[in-house]
Structure 1
Amino acid sequence: MDSNRSIDDQSESRLYVGNLDLRITEAALIKLFSPFGKIISEDFLWHTRGPKRGEPRGFAFVQYSNKEEAMLAKEKMHGRLACGRPLIVHLASEKDATGNIEKPSKSSGLTYRAGATIGSSSSGPVNKSAKIAAIKSKLKALEEETSGIKKQRPS
């Protein structure tokens, strides 16, 4: 039971720090957040592949030794300007304000939200065959729409 409590304590003292300017370094991040308590760890995220490999991803996590220090840092640092950009600071266990689980990907152009389903109005997960059926239906509708446009055009 102590291990569960320790995990809960860790999640309540771990902060997400977002909207970081790409010029901010790990050292600068620690310097910004150290006045509010003892930082026991920080995770500064980097791109691991692709053209941006080795560049910062623009967010990090800061772990304090207790919840009170984390809450103080959250209160004082959220919205504070760092290199001209307002920081977004919240508990790592909280969802962001929009409820997004995954940020939009430049390659896919998609955003997935918690509980969102594709091609269905139900709140349950959609299986692969339902997704395929929805895509086929959309393609058929598009084909009918484009063939209708061609028929209306004078030859």
Structure 2
Amino acid sequence: MEDYQISKNIFIETPLIESEPLSKLVKRPVFLKLENLQPSGSFKLRGLSRLCQEAVEKGYKKLISSSGGNAGLAVKYIANKLNLSATIIVPEVTSQNIVDALAGDGIDVIRHGSVWNIADEKAQELAKTLGIFYVTPFDHPTI
């Protein structure tokens, strides 16, 4: 429970509401979890916040991740909350609006590769060579 209390300071408890139109459509209650109300705008903040806290517990001062948007915005928010710096590797096709939203406040953004997989390979490579904590956008037991 202690771990949850730490994470709770980063993400918020979002409401669960019933959607009348969807409930009527499928003839049973449909509930929506409003994760879009998280400070970073998506559910990614929940799992990634705990993973990044594990990085801090291990002594890391810098994070690196790959993203096309939501995960990067979560890492930026978390890094700022934990007083860490971070680098986000994005594919070259990432819109300038997303790059602008990710950059600043101790966050460096690097465009690399034509697709996310290539950007992610670069993030993992830099993490190993520079000794930076790699934050996978998904596919980790903590997340």
Name the TM-score, length of structure 1 as normaliser: 0.25
**Higher helix fraction: Structure 1 or Structure 2?**
2
